[in-house]
Structure 1
Amino acid sequence: MDHRAPKTGKKPPLESTLLPQVPRSNYLHTQEEKQRLQLKKFLMNRMFLIGNIQAHTEKKDIADYYENVFQLISKHHLGETVTGLLLIYPTSILHILESSSGTLFRILLDYLDHKKGESEFLIQGLKIIVMSHNIPSRLFMQWHVSVINVPVMYLDDVTQSQSIEEVVTEFLTQIHKLGLHLFKSVKVGAKGPGDNLHQIAPELLIPEQIIKCLGKAEEFLDPETFIKMYNNPIHITLDSEVVWPAPTRFYV
């Protein structure tokens, strides 16, 4: 006799078709993932800095200082190049830096070391306006320096009638417009706009009174406070730590 079960024509249970499938990889996917990680070794960050220039400071000394810092840091952070723009005004600076978080923090630490060791360091009152993490791409292909030889204009000072939020919005908007202009006009490997930026794109330059206004605002952190906040661990008190173990009362 044939003891095989008769065919009923029923379909397998629905649960078997809905079971999660284990993802399977192959050697090609492994090689592609390895190549992707090699092309992106670190997350890109962008930092906006402003500061005051010490009296009787040569503009060239400021550019030379940052170039030396970049060279020293590159020995420990291989492949993490710094791009951005340094605008040197008559009495202040505006600095945009793009690199890894480790490189940017080393730049801040070097500034703090000079500030503690030198009573009259060439840059004073440095403040961090914005620190953008994991940006999709660089806004600047190189690191450019431009000296802005334009006198401070006190007429129609918009900072007197705007809130700090409006000033920051205008500040960031103008910088991104300026960055896009340089991205389209300056070729890779060129020296950049040089000291003629105020003549090439005067409508895109940040007025120095805006930099002065942001430097006086208490909402922005100096490098020392920023580094302390970054290094301090975050302590979070859970609800269970407050109510557990529950208080009990023993009765005799």
Structure 2
Amino acid sequence: MSKPAPALRRPHSPEPAALRRQNLLSVRQGRGAQGRFLLHRLLVVARLGEGVAAAEVAGYHRRLFEDVLEDHSTEQVSGLLLLHPNYICHVVESCSSTIHLIIQELASLQSQGHGALLQEIKVLVVAHNIPTRLFPDWYVAAGTSPVTSPHGQTQSQSTAEAVTECLTLLLKLAACMQSVEDDHEDTNESVHTPAPELLIPAETIDCLHNAGECASPEDFLRIYLSPAQPALDSGTLQTA
């Protein structure tokens, strides 16, 4: 008589407890079929705090990613931090626990008020279970001067079109920087200076800051961690 098969144990997942309870993606486990974490993509925009230098923002994010990777067995961080004179646009690819920690950190930054490094932070996109990375590494690029949208077309853009424009320009910029790094050694920590045509127009960023569909980190976390089902006390309970 054959012995019953042992019960399968759920592999350890670094997901926050609230996400495991509330999020269907977490219920489906935090790792892929080959033991790797499922990938997610985050896109945010924010204005620089008064008197804040681009190097401060880049250094802040480098330390944040180093701390996350040191404290948690998480997936590598890739993406692009684009620094403009007055704002940033940041895309990050990693596992869901890292994305969640980054959004939590942004919410904490926003709660610091006018003295914070970043102001008016908006979460534009959180894409779940992406099949592949769009960025081979994490890059930093700095625009030396603001650019404007050609032909004044930005005012008629929808929020979805503005987000698509951001992602398209960020991908072109990352491809350009990757080709530069292929030709030069020891450039991973450098801050790249992109061509003006690869920079996101200031009007596009303003459009996204004013879009009602884009939530602050605090609002995003509140919505994301809220239960999907209606409140149980919304109706009348019949008792015997």
**The two structures share one fold, judged by TM-score above 0.5:** yes
Given the alignment of the two structures, is residue 92 of structure 1 paired with residue 87 of structure 2, yes or no? yes
Worse-matched range after superposition: 157-166 or 102-111 = 157-166
Distance 1:193 1:211, change over 3 A: farther
Match of 1:135 among 109, 130, 137: 130
Worse-matched range after superposition: 184-193 or 174-183 = 184-193
Distance 1:149 1:225, change over 3 A: same
Given the alignment of the two structures, is residue 216 of structure 1 paired with residue 210 of structure 2, yes or no? yes
Worse-matched range after superposition: 146-155 or 203-212 = 146-155
Q: Is the 8 A contact 1:147 1:194 kept in 2?
A: yes
**TM-score (norm. length: structure 2):** 0.73
Larger gyration radius, structure 1 or structure 2: 1
1:25-64, aligned counterparts within 5 Å? Answer: 39-64=34-59
**1:182 Cα deviation from its structure 2 partner:** 4.2
**1:176 Cα deviation from its structure 2 partner:** 3.3
Give the corresponding residue for 1:195: 192
Given the alignment of the two structures, is residue 75 of structure 1 paired with residue 70 of structure 2, yes or no? yes
Q: Is the 8 A contact 2:74 2:97 kept in 1?
A: no
Q: Distance in 2 between matches of 1:155 and 1:37?
A: 43
The residue identity in structure 2 corresponding to 1:49 is V
Distance 1:189 1:142, change over 3 A: farther
Q: Distance in 1 between matches of 2:94 and 2:159?
A: 27
Given the alignment of the two structures, is residue 113 of structure 1 paired with residue 108 of structure 2, yes or no? yes
Give the corresponding residue for 2:145: 150
Q: Distance in 2 between matches of 1:87 and 1:107?
A: 16
Q: Distance in 1 between matches of 2:161 and 2:41?
A: 21
What percent identity do the matched residue pairs reach?
33
CA RMSD for the aligned pairs? 3.0
The residue identity in structure 1 corresponding to 2:168 is T
Worse-matched range after superposition: 218-227 or 117-126 = 117-126
Q: Distance in 2 between matches of 1:184 and 1:236?
A: 51
Give the corresponding residue for 1:33: none
**TM-score (norm. length: structure 1):** 0.70
Q: Distance in 2 between matches of 1:233 and 1:158?
A: 40
Match of 1:177 among 172, 177, 188: 172
Distance 1:203 1:76, change over 3 A: same
**1:152 Cα deviation from its structure 2 partner:** 3.8
Given the alignment of the two structures, is residue 207 of structure 1 paired with residue 201 of structure 2, yes or no? yes
The secondary structure found in structure 2 opposite 1:42 is coil
Q: Is the 8 A contact 1:139 1:180 kept in 2?
A: no
The secondary structure found in structure 1 opposite 2:194 is helix
Worse-matched range after superposition: 130-139 or 82-91 = 130-139
Aligned residue pair count: 205
The residue identity in structure 1 corresponding to 2:198 is L
Q: Distance in 2 between matches of 1:161 and 1:111?
A: 29
Distance 1:149 1:43, change over 3 A: same
The secondary structure found in structure 2 opposite 1:48 is strand
Given the alignment of the two structures, is residue 101 of structure 1 paired with residue 101 of structure 2, yes or no? no
Worse-matched range after superposition: 78-87 or 43-52 = 78-87
Q: Distance in 2 between matches of 1:114 and 1:163?
A: 28
Distance 1:79 1:231, change over 3 A: closer
Distance 1:203 1:115, change over 3 A: closer
Q: Distance in 1 between matches of 2:186 and 2:32?
A: 26
The secondary structure found in structure 2 opposite 1:156 is helix
Give the corresponding residue for 2:7: none
Distance 1:155 1:45, change over 3 A: closer
**1:104 Cα deviation from its structure 2 partner:** 0.8
